[in-house]
Structure 1
């Protein structure tokens, strides 16, 4: 009896945390800190839930096995589609290449960024954490020779942002919440389309009390519908966060998810064992996502992301 009791206790100790995780993830409720940063690691939790299922099977605790299996299936439903390419709409319009880069308080290597722009040839570059000093370095490095049009909102600290483009831009009303600026601009594409571009960067929910600012920054982003829109940048959120799921439900598609590359981490850029995908390109669902890549850039903790889209 003692051995059976220990097995029963161990099985539930292993299974219960993942059952609670799966239940919260699939619910319409998102608790405050620390759940908001923790839920970003749901793909890793899904893997550990499989391990817990295997251990419960080995212990022959069948009630725990049933709960563990339900947890695994729930998490798989949430995360596995990111590894599977989706069908794309029959958009046969001109291409739009979008590159998004977080400059880490302006510390990124701006010469390397200019070279990256030259290699990847984006039509649009969305920058976050753009400082006045970084702006001066980018201008001196010749970024305007490749992307001559710009709407820039540089700030000291983490709140600056910008949109650069190959085609004419009209400045939109920036989103400013909690010291984080999100530049907006209207792109006049030579194909005849008018597209709103938003350089996304809400507050980071890195400590207690930051969730309201983070949530408000995501909720302030324009919903899909009407004019074509592309949201690109550091969302400080993964596809496991409720505000991101709400944003996608309005009519956007995540380029990484569409191409089956949704598990590729974008932060941190270092060799840390656990990375998360918080940098995204969201495109209006009427656009086709043709390609997506996670790149590298010296001097910043985020990996740049590049999406190739086709307009309707």
Structure 2
């Protein structure tokens, strides 16, 4: 009986240690890439082996469990604590939304832009039909400047702005998704290049190479030069090594800075049947496709900002018709010319 309890304690303690090791060393491979997105849940669960081993007085398993729990909690808890970083400078309000192949409710999205006085809107999975619906609900009057690449399906991208855009363009990731970008200058602020980010999702083992290559190919921050802001569906959490490498170039995650870094942005967010005016048979098929994805929400939509940019507020909103939740961030841009 005593031996069995010892084996039980080791059986529940060892997985947490392995998970913490993979996370800390950034060596996720194969199915571990997908699993690592759930690290916040594992961090919460890691207290169970500690409690069990201590209650049964199995000190070696308890020590291992404590080490794993401390490591996991240490990387997760700061996302809920934050401490918004502000700078003295003009405000820029940004919003990102994945439209689920154009199925996201256009009326709701335009209402969010109006309600939050959004200056920049980045959209992914952006289709010609979505572009037309957004303008029909008044987006052209709110955000008249744009760089758009609407595509039937999931590869389209768009960037809308209240302020004129220069240096605009659209680039295609190796994984196939496109990203619209442009440089804007808010009144009194330094110019900032904004990009609507959408790397390949690691939904299958055969896509992992494209996923990592797409993330590693994202524009690095230029701490001694122009400001960069990356907003969109990164298909990665803060527990994935490629996203952490991108952050280490000189970005901060706005939600993490604001203490909202544990709010899920993708998961079991099924299309809201109360909003059916914009949907047809194709969108119903998409809704059916995601109905089975009953997984705990994970945080894969982000606003990454140059570390010279302040973060005043971050909110995760709702968009009927999409399996993602939009992310809104109120930023503070530095003054002056930082073009280097």
Q: For the structure 1 residues 216 and 273, does the alpha-carbon distance in structure 2 shift closer, same or farther, using more than 3 Å as the test?
A: closer
Match of 2:214 among 217, 220, 225: 217
Distance 2:97 2:84 in 1: 27
Cα distance per residue 1:79-135 (max 9 Å; x no partner):
11111123625x211000010000000001111111111111111000000011111
- Give the match for residue 246 of structure 2: 247
Question: How does 1:1-312 map onto structure 2 within 5 Å?
Answer: 3-32=1-30, 34-86=31-83, 88=85, 91-170=87-166, 171-225=168-222, 226-268=225-267, 270=269, 274-312=296-334
1:269 touches 1:303 (CA, 8 Å); kept in 2?
no
Following superposition, the deviation at residue 186 of structure 1 comes to: 1.2
**Structure 2 unaligned spans of 5+:** 271-293, 335-340
Distance 1:59 1:26 in 2: 29
Cα distance per residue 1:52-91 (max 9 Å; x no partner):
11111122211100000000011012111111123625x2
Cα distance per residue 1:279-299 (max 9 Å; x no partner):
110110001100000001111
TM-score, structure 2 length as denominator? Answer: 0.88
Distance 1:132 1:10 in 2: 56
Q: Which moved more, 1:41-50 or 1:77-86?
A: 77-86
Following superposition, the deviation at residue 250 of structure 1 comes to: 0.8
Q: Which moved more, 1:130-139 or 1:266-275?
A: 266-275
Aligned residues: 308
Distance 1:269 1:261 in 2: 19
Helix, strand or coil: the match of 2:94?
strand
**Structure 1 unaligned spans of 5+:** none
Following superposition, the deviation at residue 175 of structure 1 comes to: 3.5
2:233 touches 2:301 (CA, 8 Å); kept in 1?
yes
Helix, strand or coil: the match of 2:27?
coil
TM-score, structure 1 length as denominator? Answer: 0.95
1:269 touches 1:300 (CA, 8 Å); kept in 2?
no
Distance 2:231 2:110 in 1: 18
Helix, strand or coil: the match of 2:160?
strand
1:40 touches 1:237 (CA, 8 Å); kept in 2?
yes
Computed over aligned residues only, the root mean square deviation of the Cα atoms, in angstroms, reads 1.4
1:49 touches 1:72 (CA, 8 Å); kept in 2?
yes
Following superposition, the deviation at residue 173 of structure 1 comes to: 4.6
Helix, strand or coil: the match of 2:331?
strand
Distance 2:152 2:122 in 1: 17
